[in-house]
Each structure stands twice: as C-alpha cells, then as structure tokens.
C-alpha cells in the first residue's frame, strides 16, 4: 500500500490511540483532531489523502462536516467510523461523498482493507491522469473531436471524427451555435457559460459534458478550449478539442458504486443479524395468535398479512445485504397476475383514502410460466410504489400483458408526472432516487431480478406518465 497522509478525527482518546498505533505500523503519516473545528483547521493548512472520521463528535456529526469537507478537500477520501449500524445513516454518508463506512469496534484488518482499496483507487486515478496527459500530448495524431467556431460560438468547420460521431456534415450545421447542435438541452446552459468565460480570455481545460451521437446516445466528451486571437489580441474564435471519455466515466462510476455497495453490505450484515432475532419473535407470536384465533377468519387473514409482510422484510434485508451476489430463484409454475395482485394487496395501507385505480388489462394472458413469485412480486411492488409516490390523485395505473414470439411482455403505465427532462435509464443505477428517504435501490434490484429470469426491463419514452416494459421468456428456465 502506498504511503497515505491520514487525518484522524476522533474524540475518544483510547480509540484514537489505538488507531494511531495501527496506522503508524502501516506507515501512514498521521494528523489527529478531536472535533469538527479542529478538523477544518487541519484541512485548511494541509493536504490529506484520507480522512478517518468519527460519526459523532462533541461539536457536531459527520453529516454536518461532510459537505464542508468536500468543499475544502475535494480530493480526500472519507471513511466514517461509528458504533451505530443504521442503513439511513450509511446511505446519507455515502450520498454526501463518504468512500467507506466502518462499524466500531474497528477491526484492524477491515480498516487496512479499506485503506488498501482507497490507495488502489488513488493509484488508479493517478495512472488515469498520466494516461490523459499522454493522450493530450499525442492529440495531433489521435482520433479526437476538432471543432473551430467563431467568437459567437457559431460553427466554422470540424473534422471527420466529429462528423462520424454526430452524423452531421459541415454544410448542414455551418453558422449554427455549436452547443445548440451537439449538446443535450439539459446541459446547454452550463456549456454556454463555459464558452463565454473562455472566449473572454480565460483558460478552460478538462471540462466534461455530453455530446449527442448519431444514434441519439449521450457520449461524455472532455474538452480543451483554446481562444484564437487576431494581431490586436482580440478574440476571433475558438478551437475546441474533445476526447471521448465515456468509457472512463462509466468505469469510475462502476468503481464508486462497487465501493458503496461494499459499505452497504458490511452494514447490512450487522443489521440482518439483529433483525433476524426480531423477525423470529414476530413469527413466534403470530403462531401463538393463530392458535387462539382459529374461529375468527378476519383475524386469521390479518395475521397472514402480517406473516407475509415479515417474510417480505426478511427477503428485502437479505436482498440489500447480498446485492452484489447472484440472485437465487425459487421457481414455480404460476400465473404472472398473481405477482402483481399480491404486490397491490401489500400496498393497501398506502392506497386507502386515495383516488387511485389499478387497471388489470390482462387481455393476452397465458395460463402460467416459470417464475419466482415472491421476486417478481417485489418487482411489481417497486414499480407500483414509485407510481404511488410520484403521482397525484386521481391516479390511474395500468398493467397490460401480451405475447410476442417466445416472450411475455408486461407494460406497466401510469398517468403521473413521468421522467421530466431526465434520462429514465439513470433510475436503474443503484443509489439514484428522487425520494428524500429512498435508498435508490428499488429499480436496480428489480432489473437484477428480471435479468435473473433471463428477461429484461426498460423504461419506455412516452409523452405522459411513466411506462415500464418487462419481457419474460415463456419457456422453462
């Protein structure tokens, strides 16, 4: 592991001394602080690779410090240390930029593994920067976007690489403002600001923004802006050179997601252990109540719902804990409608009092297919829950099935607000959510479940509301 400069923020003297011993043996350079104020003072005067941060400090919590820390030391990796293994705290810390989350008492091997992972990522980032610098040096011979515009941003000419990427010719777009032609609408204002800043004789390098390619996809392009001046020093235009870094950006996202999932998994291991005891107590008391309520059908039905809900909770806890592991299916020959009916029934407490209707348009239904009913129910519950959370009354949700070739297609539609100007595929990524209290795992888990059935789920663009299309094979899995 490369030598790391570590800021240790811990108010407990014994814990701090123990961590100093561990990290010193590993060759880390250490600076200690016992409060948020002291930590900020250290961050203003020195640069650190890693900040090892106690979640609760005398003058505040890690949730308070993290946003300030990201502004003061944006390149530092933050590892939260806490004695409280709660999922909400973990998700909040990771959203605020924490790289890892370690439960006290701290296992030295777990701490070393976390630091090794962060050091490895830092080394990878350094190598990536070196490769980027090398690419810039050979830009004259490498494939890259070369775009010449006038002082108003109007296209003068560009090279064949951009023509092939965007599917346009100079003759088609000459004289048009380049960011109105190439950049998606949601990012144009930011790109215009960068252009106007640079044309006013400021330097801008390393700016990344999406460019629409020939088939409508967004490619991430890293730009270098170079102002062209006349003999009098006035700006007459600009040369823009862009490198397609889509694969690099996606790799960085996957690496960050893998680290976040590892942290979630570690926390959930502790939560799953503690919750298992509580769920067992619930099950035992349900069994006792069932013995006393044999002559009360309504109470028996309510107990059955409680039992089903506790089983769903157990499955969800296990699903989050083992998110990165393969999905293990328990297949049975069942009607697909059984899954969404159970999902809808499980949401009755949220539907009561609302003007909401579920339209079961199962016109092209088949008798049954091989599915894990509980898993597919989870998929429908996630989709229905999203519609209920996003839509306003009156709300109409439609589920429609049809057979196409050897697949059963299921459309799930609502007349809610839809996606707005966001790419709906983003919501299938882990931790992406519009809910203040959401984990951002619902659609990501749903996609893994459907793909484990050798099927697919996708968001379908539409003018009004949200539309999901699920495809499941009709044959035996």
Give residue 139's pLDDT.
45
Closest CA to 84 of 93, 76, 75: 93
Q: How much is the pLDDT for 383?
A: 92
Identify the three-state secondary structure at position 426: helix
Q: Which domains does the chain have, with CATH numbers?
A: 5-135 (3.40.50.2300), 145-244 (3.30.450.20), 326-473 (3.30.565.10)
H-type alpha helices, 364-441? 373-390
Global pTM reads 0.42
The SS3 of residue 269 is helix
CA distance to 93, 180, 211, 238, per residue, from 160 (Å): 45, 19, 15, 18
List C-alpha distances in Å: 431 to 39, 96, 229, 451: 28, 12, 46, 19
Q: What is the DSSP string of 28-82?
A: -EEEEESSHHHHHHHHHHS--SEEEEESEETTEEHHHHHHHHHHH-TT-EEEEEE
Q: What is the DSSP string of 204-251?
A: EEEEEEEEE-TTSPEEEEEEEEEEEE-TTS-EEEEEEEEEE-HHHHHH
20: enclosing H helix or E strand: helix 13-25
Exposed/middle/buried for residue 90 (C-beta within 10 Å: 0-12, 13-18, 19+): buried
pLDDT of 2 reads 66
> For residue 84, what pLDDT is reported?
73
Dist. CA 96–CA 117, nearest whole Å: 19
CB 463 within 8 A of CB 397: no
Query: Mean pLDDT for each consecutive 10-residue tract of the chain (477 residues)?
Result: 83 88 88 89 88 87 82 86 74 78 85 86 84 61 79 89 86 92 90 89 82 82 87 86 82 71 63 72 86 86 86 71 67 90 89 88 67 92 89 90 89 85 71 58 84 90 86 77
Q: Is residue 406 helix, strand or coil? A: coil
pLDDT at 154: 94
Rg, the chain, Cα only? 27
Burial group, residue 76, by CB count within 10 angstroms (0-12, 13-18, 19+) = buried
Which pLDDT score is estimated for 151? 92
Distance CA 202, CA 225 (A): 9
Q: What pLDDT does residue 250 have? A: 75
341 phi and psi angles, rounded to 5 deg: -65, -45
The span from the CA of 61 to the CA of 59, in Å, is 7
């Amino acid at each position: 592991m490369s030598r790391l400069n570590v800021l240790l923020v811990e108010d407990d003297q014994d814990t701090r001394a123990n961590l100093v011993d561990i990290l010193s043996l590993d060759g880390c350079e250490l600076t200690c602080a016992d409060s948020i104020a002291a930590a900020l003072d250290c961050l203003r005067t020195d640069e650190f690779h890693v900040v090892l941060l106690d979640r609760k400090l005398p003058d505040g919590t890690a949730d308070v410090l993290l946003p300030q820390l990201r502004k003061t030391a944006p390149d530092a990796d933050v590892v939260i240390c806490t004695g409280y293994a709660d999922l909400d705290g973990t998700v909040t810390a990771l959203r605020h930029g924490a790289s890892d989350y370690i439960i006290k008492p701290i296992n030295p091997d777990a701490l070393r593994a976390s630091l090794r992972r962060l050091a490895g990522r830092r080394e990878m980032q350094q190598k990536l920067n070196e490769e980027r610098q090398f690419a810039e040096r050979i830009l004259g011979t490498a494939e890259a976007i070369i775009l010449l515009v006038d002082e108003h941003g109007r296209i003068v000419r560009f090279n064949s690489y951009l023509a092939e990427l965007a599917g346009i010719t100079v003759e088609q777009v000459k004289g048009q403002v380049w960011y109105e032609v190439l950049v998606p609408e949601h990012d144009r204002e930011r790109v215009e600001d960068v252009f106007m800043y640079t044309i006013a004789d400021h330097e801008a390098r390393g700016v990344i923004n999406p460019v629409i390619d020939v088939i409508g996809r967004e490619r991430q392009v890293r730009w270098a802006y170079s102002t062209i001046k006349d003999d009098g020093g006035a700006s007459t235009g600009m040369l823009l050179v862009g490198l397609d870094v889509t694969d690099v950006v996606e790799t960085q996202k996957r690496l960050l997601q893998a680290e976040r999932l590892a942290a979630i998994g570690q926390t959930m291991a502790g939560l799953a252990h503690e919750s298992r005891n509580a769920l067992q107590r619930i099950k035992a008391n349900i069994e006792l109540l069932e013995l006393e309520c044999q002559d009360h059908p309504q109470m028996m039905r309510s107990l059955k719902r409680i039992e089903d809900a506790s089983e769903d909770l157990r499955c969800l806890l296990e699903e989050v804990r083992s998110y990165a592991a393969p999905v293990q299916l328990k297949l049975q020959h069942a009607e697909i409608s059984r899954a969404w009916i159970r999902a809808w029934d499980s949401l009755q407490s949220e539907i009561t009092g609302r003007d909401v209707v579920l339209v079961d348009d199962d016109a092209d239904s088949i008798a049954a297919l091989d599915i894990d009913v509980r898993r597919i129910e989870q998929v429908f519950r996630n989709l229905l829950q999203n519609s209920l959370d996003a839509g306003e009354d009156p709300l109409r949700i439609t589920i429609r099935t049809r057979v196409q070739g050897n697949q059963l297609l299921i459309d799930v539609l609502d007349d809610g607000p839809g996606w707005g100007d966001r790419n709906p595929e983003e919501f299938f990524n882990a931790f992406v959510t519009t809910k203040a209290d959401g984990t951002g795992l619902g659609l990501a888990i749903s996609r893994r479940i459907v793909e484990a059935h050798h099927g697919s789920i996708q968001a379908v663009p539409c003018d009004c509301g949200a539309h999901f299309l699920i495809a499941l094979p009709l044959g035996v899995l």
